Amino acid sequence: MPEKIPLSQQFRADGDEYGSFAFHPYNVLLILLIFSLCMLFLSLSLAFVYSRVQNQLPPIKLPTLFLFNTLILIASSGTMLWAKRAYLADNTSTYKLALGITLGLSIFFLGMQIMAWNQLFHQKIFINSGNSAGYLYVISGLHFAHVIGGIPFLGYFLWQAYQKMKEPVSVLVYFSDPEKRLKLRLLTIYWHFLDALWVYLVLFFFINYLFR
């Protein structure tokens, strides 16, 4: 008996505009966005180090919740990858579940990050307490904002999955849509990037604290 090929792969053409990562406008936009964010956070990191050295400022010890939030984001990256694999395998129920968990973890991260900032408030560390505190709030706040920016897209994919996966015909249309496959891939890459960026930021502030 011939091996069953998932619908999402049956309709994939190697040379089509959606299968090419290099030339589709959506891909170019994502690459530009990631490059811009890398330059932004690298500039802020270098500015923080320069300010610290020039003014001989003590670094700030990160609350433990920053480390816990790192685990939350890593878990959300794993469930996002799980959702993508379920989509490529035409696994409807797993796809919905994985997307739902990813969305839940992302919202959980936002809530826990607010609590992490609250820990800083209890230590009398505010955004205007000094350059070190200012950079910490600005950098973590920018990352927080970009996670918020990704949540509507996650919610849209989850809503679409429940709206379009009610009967065999709509499932066929959903899984065979090359544009939807491309957008899911781009969202997965963006989510992995945000998670990697957060890991970098936590390590950056942690290393700065060690070499105070």
* CATH code where residue 120 lies: 1.20.120.80
Does any domain span residue 184? yes
Rounded CA-CA distance 49/205 in Å is 10
- 14 within a domain of the structure (yes/no): no
Question: Does 72 reside within a domain?
Answer: yes
Q: What is the pLDDT of residue 12?
A: 47
pTM for the structure as a whole: 0.85
| 8 within a domain of the structure (yes/no) | no
CA angle at residue 18 from 39 to 173, to 5 degrees?
A: 125
Residues in the chain, overall count: 212
58 falls within a domain? yes
Alpha helical stretches, state H, the chain: 7-10, 25-55, 64-88, 92-122, 131-164, 168-175, 178-210
Instruction: Identify whether 29 is part of a domain.
Output: yes
Domain that holds residue 115: 20-210
Q: What is the pLDDT of residue 61?
A: 84
**Cα separation, 195 vs 95, whole angstroms:** 20
d(CA 211, CA 199): 18
Residue 44 confidence (pLDDT): 94
In a domain, 6, yes or no: no
- pLDDT confidence of residue 1: 47
Write the burial class of residue 212 (CB in 10 Å: 0-12 exposed, 13-18 middle, 19+ buried).
exposed
What's the pLDDT score for residue 139? 94
Q: Is the separation of the CB atoms in 116 and 66 below 8 Å? A: yes
pLDDT per residue, tens digit, the chain (212 aa), is: 445 555 555 444 444 545 555 567 888 899 999 999 999 999 999 999 888 888 887 778 889 999 999 999 999 999 999 999 999 888 888 999 999 999 999 999 999 999 999 999 998 989 888 888 899 999 999 999 999 999 999 999 999 888 877 777 777 777 778 888 888 899 999 999 999 999 999 999 998 888 76
* Residue 196, both tokens: 């990697």
Q: Is 7 contained in some domain?
A: no
Number of domains in the chain: 1
pLDDT of residue 5: 52
